[in-house]
Amino acid sequence: MAPIAVGSVIPDGTLAYLDDDNKPQTVSIHSLAAAKKVIIFGVPGAFTPTCSLKHVPGFIERAEELKGKGVDEIICISVNDPFVMNSWAKTFPENKHVKFLADGAAKYTNALGLELDLSDKGLGVRSKRFALLVEDLKVKVANVESGGEFTISSAEEIIKAL
């Protein structure tokens, strides 16, 4: 499948998270994004160096600025289970706005056409690193990285686009 592109409508899909009682729950991406301006950013894996030290912290640090520019939701997706995503989210106690959602079987990542097969590195199928700016389900910006790069999917690059 071709990767999601500017002008495309994001597919609906179900992602998972843990509620306040640590019980797995699911949420439709369309329920979070319909009639809203949202950022959906994907990372290859929770607890991995670039994701944990650069990508996620950038969105957490710039969340107030993004909200001030009209962003309703900031969603981080990774091909991990909701228990891992919940544990990872707890490593960012300063986070008030970024939702950490799990795509355990990479179904949504595949629907976006953004899967990355890292089986040769022992990691299995993951997500490419990306950041999408979506308005009322339509992609306005699609910054998808090549390989292991981190050059165009940062919070700063999305802010430039706003």
Length of the chain: 162
Spatial distance between the Cα atoms of 73 and 40, rounded to a whole number of angstroms:
8
Assess whether 76 carries a catalytic annotation: no
Half-sphere exposure of 21 (CA within 13 A, CB side): 3
Measuring CA to CA, how many Å separate 83 from each of 9, 26, 100, 102? 29, 13, 11, 9
Active site residue: 16, 43, 51, 60, which one?
51
Strands 37-43 and 125-127: unpaired
Residues known to be catalytic: 51
